[in-house]
Amino acid sequence: MRYSVKQYAAAFTSALGGKSVSEQKELSRRFLLVLQRHGLWSRRMPIIKEVERQYFKERGTRKVAVAAAAPLTAETRQEIERIIGKNIFWQETVEPELLAGMKILIDEEVLIDATGKTRLEKLFKS
Amino acid sequence: MAILDTLKQEIEGFKHSIKAEKIGRVLEAGDGIARISGLSEAASQEILLIEAGAEIVPAIAFNLEEDAVGAIILGDPRGVKEGHTVKQSGRVLSVRVGEELIGRVVNALGEPQDGQGPVFHTEAEEIFYPVERRAPSVVERESVSKPLHTGMKAIDAMIPIGRGQRQLIIGDRQIGKTSLAIDTIIHQGIDDPAARPICIYVAIGQKESKVAKIVATLKEYGALDYTIIVSAPASAPASLQYLAPYSATAIGEYFMHQGKDALLVYDDLSKHAWAYRELSLLLRRPPGREAYPGDIFYLHARLLERAAKLSKNHGSGSLTALPIIETQLGDVSSYIPTNVISITDGQIYLEPELFYQGMRPALNVGLSVSRVGSAAQTKAMKKVAGRLRLELAQFRELAAFVQFASELDEATRKRIERGRVLTELLKQPELHPVPFEKQTVVIYAGTNGYFDDVPPAKVSETSAFLLDYLEKMHREDILEEIRKSRALPDEVEERLKRALEEFKKLENTDVFSSANPLE
């Protein structure tokens, strides 16, 4: 690879700044062509993830993925916003197999696991 | 009802705290390694836990790259897939140690491999030693002074090993390297029971059949009572072959810190270097000479530096290392052999030519050395073996000359005869280690001319008869005296001289012609 994943992501993120939605779409298409030309098609996912990370970081946005046993209530969302911040990019999924509680993944780096399933697993392992 | 009460108590007493933890994701996995994104705070050599479905597979952080962590997988790599969550454990790899390991065969992670159930009882104290550890400093050590007898006459006489020394065994394939190490282990059972070291044999990249045979041999000779086997055979992943010597050293350090002596045999470090090269190339570390990574010297240096003789203030324990290196076509000047030669305190070089000439052990005395030297010899052996090396060196020079000369003067002829006798005396069959007091008397007899009139082909048989004679007739007044005092005082030497004269008279009357004490 001529440049690192971070360098590709930084260049693309910086190019996106100040562009309209349609311009950003065209820029994204060209970026993927560049990756293909550089022989980096197989590494596109880590680069795209890094782009997402830098994009959110620049805008002070936190990516929060919540997997819960039941749909989130408004109060729960407010409580999460109170702790993490208002500028949140939400990803919510409902997984009944979690039995109870929820798993919160912040910026794909920090995990808070408060599900009933994990608690039971730890209980039976101990 | 009692069961329900117990379960109820356990559930009520169960404490589970919810905390935020940093995680990573597997980007790619294969060939025993995984690349993991995230985990920006992972430490080098930290244990990572890969949640591969229902199983938690441990791995070690090896490469800390800008955007990913390269890890070597310790458990079964087949279940690890892209996207699996990875968590940090916050600790480095350690192995559980204790007396219970003695007599057992374990893998590089300390898990039993001999089908005899768990190694440790549930109530046993849990002691963990880190696999990677700083070597003892200069202040913690003292000079090597106590001998570690191998039971091999040639080695104990001319290339003596001391407790706390690193002595390399180097030679081509099938030359007797492992046999020498196994004989050394077996000999510890008879040498000095009060000061018997705990022996640890590390099999790295060996055939499982070979390891099984070694275990059976050690069991047959009662050596498994004080030996631990750490096995990372050829079928084990490269990660376990890489870790095995370090885990075994951690086990040895436990005994060393208890004030005991431990002996470690690494069989062999050539395959260890191959396993490390494999991991490094898979993790895309830049290859250097012969495709080995740049830190291949450090791989063995940091391992062997952990062998030491500790000072009295630190318990006086010792860890002796016998690393084995396999050469290709006798080339001791290639990369890995020269590396390890420069690290160790001497080498025992086994030569193919000598092997095929029937010299077993095929020891090349000229190229072999012990940098500790006579500081690690008993006074008895020092007294008798002083001239041995010189006489053999003179014989080797003259042996080449005699092929061209037709007439020899008396002195030269005698020197050659003496050299032939001494060469025969130093030959020794496998699995027959000889106690040092018997070595002393045999070498004394050889260097003082008592075998000069024995044909070279009969020397071995005659020396066996001699030992049998001394065992039966002079066990207390000569052999036991030497054994207890570890010296050859003048009065014992006089008794030995008289005994040798008596033996020669008996030998001349053909008393032993029909008996073979070896059968």
B310-352 pLDDT per residue, tens: 999 999 999 999 999 999 999 999 999 999 999 999 999 999 9
Among B242, B246, B245, smallest CA distance to B280 is for B242
Give Cβ neighbours of residue B455 (< 8 Å, ≥ 6 apart): none
B-side interface with A, Cβ within 8 Å?
10-11, 14, 16, 18-25, 27, 37-38, 40, 66-68, 85, 87
The CA distance from B434 to B444, in Å, is 15
Both tokens assigned to B70: 């390269």
- Chain B residues in contact with A46 by the CB 8 A cut-off are 27, 37, 67-68
Is B23 close to A105, i.e. CB distance below 8 A? yes
**pLDDT score of B511:** 47
End-to-end CA distance of chain A: 46
Is B11 close to A108, i.e. CB distance below 8 A? no
Q: Which residue has the tokens 């003067």?
A: B409
A-side interface with B, Cβ within 8 Å?
4-6, 45-46, 49-50, 105-106, 108-114, 119, 122-123, 126
Which of A57, A98, A109, A120 is the mutation pick for testing B, counting most B CBs within 10 A?
A109
Locate the chain A residue with the closest alpha carbon to B40. A109
- Chain B residues in contact with A114 by the CB 8 A cut-off are 18
Cβ(B364)–Cβ(B350) under 8 Å? yes
Cβ(B118)–Cβ(B110) under 8 Å? no
Nearest to B66 among A6, A111, A114 (CB): A6
Is B23 close to A109, i.e. CB distance below 8 A? yes
Both tokens assigned to B267: 């069989």
**pLDDT score of B353:** 92
| Residues B103-113 pLDDT 10s | 999 999 999 99
Sign of the Cα torsion B321, B322, B325, B329 reads: positive
pLDDT tens-digit profile, chain B (519 residues): 677 777 777 677 666 677 888 999 998 999 999 999 889 889 999 999 999 988 899 999 999 988 789 999 998 899 999 989 999 999 999 999 999 999 999 999 999 999 999 999 878 889 999 999 999 999 999 999 999 999 999 999 999 999 999 999 999 999 999 999 999 999 999 888 888 999 999 999 999 999 999 999 999 999 999 999 999 999 999 999 999 999 999 999 999 999 999 999 999 999 999 999 999 999 999 999 999 999 999 999 999 999 999 999 999 999 999 999 999 999 999 999 999 999 999 999 999 999 999 999 999 988 999 999 888 899 999 999 988 888 888 888 887 777 766 677 888 888 888 899 999 999 999 999 999 999 999 999 999 989 988 888 899 999 999 999 999 999 999 999 999 999 999 999 999 999 999 998 886 655 444 444 444
H/E segment holding residue A54:
helix A44-58
* Rg for chain B, CA atoms, rounded: 27
Among A69, A45, A36, A89, smallest CA distance to B35 is for A45
- Chain B residues in contact with A6 by the CB 8 A cut-off are 66-67
The CA distance from B487 to B103, in Å, is 33
Asked about B389 being catalytic, the answer comes back as no
- In the three-class reduction of DSSP (H, G, I as helix; E, B as strand; rest coil), residue A110 is classed as strand
Nearest to A46 among B67, B85, B87 (CB): B67
Is A111 close to B25, i.e. CB distance below 8 A? no
Is A110 close to B23, i.e. CB distance below 8 A? yes
pLDDT tens-digit profile, chain A (126 residues): 568 888 898 999 889 888 899 999 999 999 999 999 989 888 888 888 889 888 888 888 999 999 999 898 999 889 888 988 888 899 999 999 888 889 999 988 899 998 888 888 877 776
H/E segment holding residue B99:
none
Nearest to B67 among A4, A110, A119 (CB): A4
Is B23 close to A46, i.e. CB distance below 8 A? no
The CA distance from B57 to A113, in Å, is 19
Active-site pick, B196, B302, B371, B396? B371
Is B68 close to A123, i.e. CB distance below 8 A? no
The CA distance from B153 to B437, in Å, is 11
**pLDDT score of B514:** 42
Contacts across the A-B interface (CB distance below 8 Å): 46
- Chain B residues in contact with A45 by the CB 8 A cut-off are 27
Cβ(B264)–Cβ(B246) under 8 Å? no
Residue B326 backbone phi and psi in degrees, to 5: -100, 125
Is B19 close to A109, i.e. CB distance below 8 A? no
Locate the chain B residue with the closest alpha carbon to A125. B14
Which of A45, A97, A111 is the mutation pick for testing B, counting most B CBs within 10 A?
A111
Amino acid, single-letter form, for residue B138: V
**pLDDT score of B516:** 46
Is A111 close to B20, i.e. CB distance below 8 A? yes
Is B68 close to A50, i.e. CB distance below 8 A? no
- Chain B residues in contact with A122 by the CB 8 A cut-off are 16
Which of B18, B36, B66 is the mutation pick for testing A, counting most A CBs within 10 A?
B18
**pLDDT score of B515:** 45
Cβ(B211)–Cβ(B233) under 8 Å? yes
**pLDDT score of B390:** 85
Largest Cα separation within chain B, whole Å, is 102
Cβ(B40)–Cβ(B69) under 8 Å? no
Nearest-CA distance A22 → chain B (Å): 30
B442: left (phi over 0), alpha (psi -120 to 50) or beta: alpha
Give Cβ neighbours of residue B299 (< 8 Å, ≥ 6 apart): B272, B273, B276
**pLDDT score of B341:** 97
Cβ(B212)–Cβ(B180) under 8 Å? no
Among B194, B142, B181, B159, smallest CA distance to B324 is for B181
Neighbours of A42 (CB within 10 A): 9
Locate the chain A residue with the closest alpha carbon to B87. A111
Q: Which residue has the tokens 């282990």?
A: B185
Among B80, B305, B324, B358, smallest CA distance to B204 is for B324
Burial class (CB within 10 angstroms; exposed 0-12, middle 13-18, buried 19+) of A2: exposed
- In the three-class reduction of DSSP (H, G, I as helix; E, B as strand; rest coil), residue B453 is classed as coil
Helix axis angle, B238-257 relative to B296-304, nearest 10°? 30
Is A5 close to B66, i.e. CB distance below 8 A? yes
**pLDDT score of B411:** 83
